[in-house]
């Protein structure tokens, strides 16, 4: 067991911070609530970006860049939006040595300034749809911060689209939710529940917010991505109108959707163990590390040469495995194992003089800590297969954990009991009112994470009021 | 001649703005001095990023992310630095609804906050070198702005490295300058002069600033990238110390280097013509556009199918040509030609019914406006070869232009005469003093762009004072 990491059972919050520190993933910045993403953490973000960016482009989206600073009066054009975001804004009051005539907000999100630009770019139905994404930093002032999960500044992508019809906007909203679901489950190996947010949890200014919710290893929920149908709210606030097919002026229908560096926090808390980070192979910046083991110069030469020959085989694959050889001479093998263990690299191959003699590599997997000797001839196929297995195992393990920690409550008393003793997700019926939702939160800290998109829901009765309920919703304490 | 673009000879500044507008590359944002980079412009930036990022990683650099906001007192730790940048800073005074105890600056560059982090990360010579780059936005308040060339907010990369010895820091400074030179000349087809900045033009806080300087089509100079040797200045200001090989505490030697979205401005002004943008093939987001030409449904079907078969051949190349078919049915061929012309796409292939009958495509190049009919069988080889030719031609054309507009001045009178009448670059001798440099700038607006890195310089006499001078320097009016 790693001495530099507090076990999860002892203190889950401290475990999380220790894993980040041991993996050199991020640090707090000198400005309160801001973070520095260190190279090991940023490489994970780059891998996430690369995959998502491809998925966005394959569905017809293009990237652009909108400004960091937003005039204060822009924020005020959409009533719910200003109410939701103004308290969280950082405000620039001086620039170039002078006080500004109008304060500028650092973007907490960009619906307003993008709405303003779209009103200039969109004239006719021929200009629609507009399907733009941007990768950028945003800032939302936070008092209680936690690296990756909740920091004042974070990195994200925000998609902003404008459509001719209500139906197209809804289709886009669901398309992007599905892309997020696929990315989380297929690439990050994190099972998620897609669903609709309640009125009190929806994005300020949206008519509907959809989300994907994941369960962390302490049973708490993490919102891992959101997709908003903004209806015509922002089109009306920013005058995004177009000449429609009937030659009449219409307001466009818009959407927005985003995921952020928070996903790195979700990755750590879903897969990590008491020895540190575990990165699923599909998103790992390094998938395989090869470690030559030697005690003298001649062994050094032969193990390194053999390591190179293994790396060459792995590189030759069409899908180009990401392989690194740890060539450092000033560390002992145990120190190197420990380093890569805490970096969460899925597969390690040890190569000592005896392995060279046998023309084998000792292949170890990070997720279940087994290792076996594999012959050079079959090592490429073996490692490729192993990476697939690890990816699948991480997903199944997380899915089983979620299933074991998802309960049903017969009545409100039982609900409160579960929330108090066990946590996790609780599926329960609710009458649809914000008052009951607030009461439950007050009593138990649990919120409705989402109303699942089950096409065939089972009706029942609200656990608090006994009123009829169309479907169960997911309750949990959330990050 | 394009009606939506002012000819260069008539008004070069207006031509530049018209090219940007016609190509839909960027817009001014609602906040004064900020810009919106539109999808067509951003695609160029993405291509630049992808290429540079690969070059950085091939030379051992990794990416990270440092915070946007910098405490005011950090900026004050390095005397020259604060003097240079404070007047340009945007200042955050309020956050989360409250006035802050200490104002925060939006980063104009990140030496200070990165220096602070490096002081925590670097303990021993074993931790060195640290070779980190970040891609981000920065903000420098500007009164007179010009899209891409000079805006308050811009996108860039900033590399920040720390080394054990002075020699290694100098090597890194020159390595990155050379990467910038190669990128400009080989990828952007922009000839540049690498050199050293004078004391008055160097980066605030650096001991030496190296740069690459390009000539625009109006004869003005554009600084296209800088690489700074920071000596131990920032290491001393931020206490970046390490236990060296002699077991003593030493200050690290640091460098920083950056290029920005300004390069897009340089690209436009180097290669564009009176019809708009021309993008060199190596950096073009779309290298080949295929345009089916038809007057009825059966022609529509056959030309589109033929266009697809050409695209398939081009795609099959190992180097994966970036090909787009313009499938729009609501535009006339002339409108499509015009659209892609102004997007600066290097090669256009027209496919009409007669081309289908002959199994040929009409291949047109953007740079010299020639077109020829090419048989399907040889079209892939032809287009690949043509893209190489266009890349080479753009570079040669720009190089010839620079050579034609680079002059030598026998004396100061002649120098002033050239600057007044012809502009361009003037190679002249200078005594090395800031006072003479300032006088020349006052008289002619020309500044010393750089002291070229000629290993075998020809000595002479300062054109103003007659004092001895080791080498000629490059004078020009700059953007």
**How far, CA to CA in Å, does B99 sit from each of A101, A103, A150, B89, B268?**
18, 13, 21, 18, 43
Handedness of CA A68, A74, A78, A82 (dihedral sign): positive
pLDDT in the model for residue B318: 67
Asked if the Cβ–Cβ distance from A34 to B88 is below 8 Å, we say no
The CATH architecture that domain A286-386 belongs to is 3-Layer(aba) Sandwich (3.40)
Tokens of A361: 């590599």
Cα angle B141, B217, B153; round to 5: 15
What is the DSSP track for B34-81? -EEE-HHHHHHHHHHHHHHHHHHHHTT-EE-B--SEEEHHHHTTSHHH
B88 touches chain A (CB under 8 A): yes
Tokens of B301: 């079907």
Asked if the Cβ–Cβ distance from A69 to B87 is below 8 Å, we say no
Strands A90-95 and A221-229, by their bridges, are unpaired
A25 touches chain B (CB under 8 A): no
What part of A 148-187 touches B (C-beta under 8 Å)?
A: 152-153, 155
Residue B172: pLDDT over 80:
yes
Superfamily of domain B406-476: C-terminal domain of ProRS (3.30.110.30)
Residue B236 CB partners (closer than 8 Å, separation 6+): B251
Give B-chain residues touching A50 at CB under 8 angstroms: none
Tokens of A476: 């949990």
Asked if the Cβ–Cβ distance from A31 to B94 is below 8 Å, we say no
How far, in Å, CA of A35 to CA of A33, rounded?
Answer: 7
At B66-82, the pLDDT tens digits run: 999 999 999 888 888 88
- Which residue does chain B place closest to A39, by CA atoms? B64
How far, in Å, CA of B366 to CA of B285, rounded?
Answer: 15
pLDDT in the model for residue B317: 76
pLDDT in the model for residue A303: 97
**Can you tell me whether residue B249 is helix, strand or coil?**
strand
At A432-463, the pLDDT tens digits run: 999 999 999 999 999 999 999 988 999 999 99
Among the partner-chain residues A67, A90, A93, the one whose CB lies closest to the CB of B29 is A67
The CATH 3.40.50.800 domain(s) of chain A lie at 286-386
What part of A 301-340 touches B (C-beta under 8 Å)?
A: 330
In this prediction, residue A78 has a pLDDT band, given cuts at 50, 70 and 90, of: confident
Asked if the Cβ–Cβ distance from A106 to B68 is below 8 Å, we say yes
At A384-414, the pLDDT tens digits run: 999 999 999 999 999 999 999 999 998 999 9
Among the partner-chain residues A63, A67, A71, the one whose CB lies closest to the CB of B42 is A63
At B46-71, the pLDDT tens digits run: 999 999 999 999 999 999 999 999 99
CB pairs under 8 A between A and B: 159
How far, in Å, CA of B465 to CA of B435, rounded?
Answer: 11
Long-range contacts of B80-86 (CB under 8 A, 24+ apart): B80/B204, B80/B205, B80/B233, B81/B111, B81/B112, B81/B204, B81/B205, B81/B234, B81/B237, B82/B204, B83/B204, B84/B203, B84/B204, B84/B205, B85/B109, B85/B140, B85/B204, B86/A97
Nearest CA-CA partner of B132 in B170, B159, B99? B159
pLDDT in the model for residue B444: 97
Which stretches within B76-131 are classed as H helix? Answer: 79-85, 111-121
pLDDT in the model for residue B344: 97
The CATH 3.30.930.10 domain(s) of chain B lie at 12-271
Cα angle A54, A59, A63; round to 5: 60
Most B CBs within 10 A among A36, A70, A103, A104, hence the mutation to make, goes to A36
Give B-chain residues touching A63 at CB under 8 angstroms: 39, 42-43, 46
The CATH 3.30.110.30 domain(s) of chain A lie at 406-476
Residue A318: pLDDT over 70:
no
pLDDT in the model for residue A360: 97
B113 touches chain A (CB under 8 A): yes
| Mean pLDDT, residues B455-468 taken together | 94
**Minimal C-alpha gap between A85 and chain B (Å):** 10
How far, in Å, CA of A320 to CA of A317, rounded?
Answer: 5
Confidence (pTM) = 0.96
DSSP B330: S
- CATH 3.40.1160.10 at B12-271, yes or no: no
**Mean pLDDT of all residues belonging to chain B:** 96
A135 touches chain B (CB under 8 A): no
pLDDT in the model for residue B23: 97
Long-range contacts of B402-408 (CB under 8 A, 24+ apart): B402/B191, B402/B215, B405/B215, B405/B219, B406/B215, B408/B472
pLDDT in the model for residue B398: 98
Residue B103: pLDDT over 80:
yes
pLDDT in the model for residue A80: 85
| Mean pLDDT, residues B311-330 taken together | 88
Question: Across-strand partners of A240?
Answer: none
**Minimal C-alpha gap between A244 and chain B (Å):** 15
Tokens of A170: 């809804």
Residue A21 CB partners (closer than 8 Å, separation 6+): A4
B96 touches chain A (CB under 8 A): yes
How far, in Å, CA of B346 to CA of B386, rounded?
Answer: 9
Residue A241 CB partners (closer than 8 Å, separation 6+): A119, A122, A235, A249, A250, A251, A252
């Amino acid at each position: 067991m790693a001495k530099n990491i507090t076990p999860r059972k002892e203190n889950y919050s401290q475990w999380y911070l220790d894993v980040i520190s041991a993996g050199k993933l991020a640090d707090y910045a000198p400005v309160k609530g801001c973070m520095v993403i260190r190279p090991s953490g940023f490489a994970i973000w780059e891998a996430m970006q690369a995959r998502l960016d491809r998925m966005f482009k394959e569905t017809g989206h293009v990237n652009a860049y909108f400004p960091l600073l937003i005039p204060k009066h822009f924020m005020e054009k959409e009533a719910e939006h200003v109410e939701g975001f103004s308290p969280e804004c950082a405000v620039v009051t001086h620039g170039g040595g002078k006080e500004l005539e109008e304060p500028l907000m650092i973007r907490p999100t960009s619906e307003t300034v993008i709405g303003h630009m779209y009103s200039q770019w969109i004239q006719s139905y021929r200009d629609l749809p507009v399907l733009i994404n941007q990768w950028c930093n945003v800032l939302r002032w936070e008092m209680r911060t936690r690296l990756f999960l909740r920091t004042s500044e974070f990195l994200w992508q925000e998609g902003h689209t404008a459509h001719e019809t209500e139906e197209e906007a809804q289709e886009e909203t669901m398309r992007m939710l599905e892309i997020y679901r696929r990315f989380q489950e297929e690439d990050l190996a994190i099972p998620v529940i897609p669903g609709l947010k309640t009125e009190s949890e929806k994005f300020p200014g949206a008519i509907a917010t959809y989300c994907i919710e994941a369960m962390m290893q302490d049973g708490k929920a993490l919102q891992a991505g959101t997709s908003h149908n903004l209806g015509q709210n922002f089109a009306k606030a920013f005058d995004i109108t177009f000449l429609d097919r009937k030659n009449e002026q219409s307001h466009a229908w818009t959407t927005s959707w985003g995921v952020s560096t928070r996903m790195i926090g979700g990755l750590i808390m879903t897969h990590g163990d008491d020895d540190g980070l575990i990165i699923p192979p599909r998103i790992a910046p390094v998938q395989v590390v090869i470690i030559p083991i030697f005690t003298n110069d001649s062994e050094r030469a032969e193990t390194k040469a053999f390591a190179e020959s293994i790396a060459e085989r792995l590189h030759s694959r069409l899908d180009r495995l990401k392989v690194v050889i740890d060539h450092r001479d000033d560390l002992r093998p145990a120190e190197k194992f420990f380093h890569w263990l805490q970096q969460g690299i899925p597969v390690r191959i040890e190569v000592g003089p005896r392995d060279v003699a046998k023309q084998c590599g000792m292949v170890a997997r990070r997720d279940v800590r087994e290792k076996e000797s594999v012959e050079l001839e079959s090592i490429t196929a073996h490692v490729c297969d192993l990476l697939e297995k690890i990816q699948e195992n991480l997903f199944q393990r997380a899915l089983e954990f979620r299933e074991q920690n998802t309960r049903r409550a017969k009545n409100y008393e039982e609900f409160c009991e579960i929330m108090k003793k066990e946590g996790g997700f609780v599926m329960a019926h609710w009458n649809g009112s914000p008052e009951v939702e607030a009461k439950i939160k007050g009593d138990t800290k649990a919120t409705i994470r989402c109303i699942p998109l089950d096409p065939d829901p089972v009706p029942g009765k609200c656990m608090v009021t006994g009123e009829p309920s169309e479907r169960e919703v997911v309750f949990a304490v959330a990050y």
